[in-house]
Amino acid sequence: MTEAPFRFEPLGGRDRKGFACGVEELDRYFREQLGQDVRRRIASGFVLVEVASGRVAGYYKLSACHVHLADLPESRRRKLPRYPTVPAVRLGRLAVDSGFQQRGLGSVLLANAVARSLESEIAAHLMIVDAIDERAVGFYRRHGFERDPDDSLRCFAPLDLLARGPGLG
């Protein structure tokens, strides 16, 4: 049996200095801030590690949040209880190191984030993402997310839909 080329790990104390995805804001966050957010329990961070080299190929961050029911489109509100807020998971950051891009690893990271969110014992109905730019919005839309009509870079999707949707199911 052959070992998989990549594995997921919690962020831990792994060296993050060499990570570079080409977007300075995402690189800086990974190198300088994510570890602090994890220690403070503001977010959970996960890395995709290349087994052979031990290099971080990509990362993502998850945190708990909520969405006001009134902020969802009517088509989404119809099937939900009339609570003031809906529990959600925020995918705060997701990036692939430039040495590993164009291999579909962004989709692998997203699929793992969705699976991890669904496996949690803490219920969440939606996944929310604040995309870094329009290119990222396109990535999320290809995976079943809808654009928030009030915020052009925010996207959302029900977790159950993501679990069976394009590219993830």
Q: Is 83 labeled as catalytic in the residue annotation?
A: no
Residue partners of 97: CB distance under 8 A and separation at least 6:
19, 20, 21, 55, 56, 57, 58
Q: Which of 12, 10, 149, 160 is nearest to 79 (CA)?
A: 160
CB 16 within 8 A of CB 31: yes
Q: How far apart are the first and last CA of the chain?
A: 25
State the residue for tokens 């995402």: 26
Which of 29, 59, 60, 140 is flagged as catalytic? Answer: 140
Stretch (H or E) spanning 63: strand 56-68
Q: Answer for the pair 128, 147: CB distance below 8 angstroms, yes or no.
A: no
At residue 82, the 3 state secondary structure works out as coil
Q: What are phi and psi of 2, to 5 degrees?
A: -90, 140
Question: Which sequence positions are flagged as catalytic?
Answer: 140
